[in-house]
A and B are shown apart, each in its own frame.
Chain A
Amino acid sequence: MSYARSGLLVSLRDWFSVPLSAENLMEKYIRSNDVKALAALYDRHGNRLYYYLLILSNADTAADVTQKTWLKVMENKHQYRANGKFESWLFTVGRNTLVDELRKHNRYQYTGDTETIVDENIQLANNGINDFHQLICLLPFEQKEAFSLQQEGFSLAEIAQICAVPQETIKTRLRYARDKLKNALESRHE
């Protein structure tokens, strides 16, 4: 759909005060550089992106990468395809920015066929941590990433696209993540 046609639809929707989708807001921002559209996009997706990045790194890195990601959205807005889902594009940009940042600080390395972050692979069930956030952070990078994206509402295909791995791999990662978290939650209640 061309920007002109989609722009007309956006205008009509504005007229009837129908809430705009993320894609329409992005198209509006591309067309008119509308700050309000960008602010609306941030309000909808800012926390989601930040928390996904926070799970995969730490508070400082997450804040830094969040800011860089949104700046990239602004700078590369014309690379956004109107037929794609804005969230998928945003999280892909965010993930790539984070990976670049981690590589810069040598915190990202290859382990065989899969890339993994160097962290402590602690047995969640036996560590005595009650905070769910901390439990997620203790998961391996690929598992907590897949879990976080699923909790943010992405489908298997979308997660596979964002992480650039096959869907079957995502399924495996999700199964491991769910089982570990489930065990941790159950042990917490016991």
Chain B
Amino acid sequence: MNDTDKSLRQAYQQAKRQHPAPGRLRRQLLRSTKASKSPFFSGFWSRDTALMASAALTLVVLLGIYQFRHQVLTEPRALSVSVGIEIHAYDDEIDAMPNSQNREKLTAYNQAYERKMETIQAVNTRFAKVLEVSGEWSLADCSDIRILISDRLIENLRDHSRIESGIDVGDQVALILNREGQIMQITHSNQKALQC
């Protein structure tokens, strides 16, 4: 820096000192600063403090969430399980069986069941003699009551194996009757002759 520059610099600095900024500018500026200052950050609540407080609050919230999740994950939970129980095995067996076979078996079981039920229901046994009247069977007991038995009934009884084979006109038979007095079964009577 030469002498001219030095003298220019000195002259400039001196002129600057002679023309300072008005004091009111500083006062107005500081007043504006205070007015625009957020009340939240005033006093000890500097921005740093607020940031640290926010960080601490966030940490507390995160810890709370972690604790809650930990508790939820580690506690044994009461399970309610809906178990649908399906009927099995029987269906498979039935499906595996041929239909005709199945039907025959079912029919046999049904007939056996009905026979047993009718046997159970049979409450009365009467003895009678087989007679033939007008080509049809008739049963006569000691009270001279004649019971005409239609061919249809005979067929029905035979279908259900409820009439013993070999029964013929003149035979002594035992009539097994149900509660309503209907003939459930006809067998040979063990008694040789009807004791009227």
Q: How many of B's residues come within 8 Å of A, CB to CB? A: 31
Given contacts A48-B16, A178-B4, contact A32 B47 (CB under 8 A): yes
Q: Classify the interface of chain A: helix, strand, loop or mixed.
A: helix
- A35 in the interface (beta carbon within 8 A): yes
Nearest A residue to B36 via CB reads A74
- Binary interface encoding of chain B residues 1-30 relative to chain A, with 1 for a CB under 8 A from any of its CBs, else 0: 000110111011111101111100110111
- A181 in the interface (beta carbon within 8 A): yes
**In the assembled complex, which residues on chain B have CB atoms less than 8 Å from the CB atom of A136?**
12, 15
| A54 adjacent to B19 (CB under 8 Å) | yes
Compute the total of residue contacts between A and B using a CB distance below 8 Å: 86
- A71 in the interface (beta carbon within 8 A): yes
Q: Classify the interface of chain B: helix, strand, loop or mixed.
A: helix
| B29 adjacent to A178 (CB under 8 Å) | no
A46 and B36 alpha carbons, distance in the complex (Å): 20
| A46 adjacent to B15 (CB under 8 Å) | no
**In the assembled complex, which residues on chain B have CB atoms less than 8 Å from the CB atom of A31?**
47-48
A185 and B6 alpha carbons, distance in the complex (Å): 12
Nearest A residue to B24 via CB reads A63
Considering the complex, which residues of chain B in the window 44-101 have a beta carbon less than 8 Å from any beta carbon of chain A? 46-48
Given contacts A132-B12, A178-B8, contact A39 B30 (CB under 8 A): yes
Contacting B8 at CB < 8 Å: which of A38, A39, A51, A181? Answer: A181
9 examples of A-B residue contacts, CB within 8 angstroms: A32-B47, A32-B48, A33-B33, A35-B34, A46-B26, A47-B16, A50-B21, A151-B8, A151-B12
Where the two chains meet, the residues of B that have a C-beta atom closer than 8 Å to any C-beta of A are 4-5, 7-9, 11-16, 18-22, 25-26, 28-30, 32-34, 36-38, 41, 46-48
Where the two chains meet, the residues of A that have a C-beta atom closer than 8 Å to any C-beta of B are 7, 31-35, 38-39, 42-43, 46-51, 54, 63, 66-67, 70-71, 74, 131-133, 136, 147-148, 151, 178, 181-182, 185
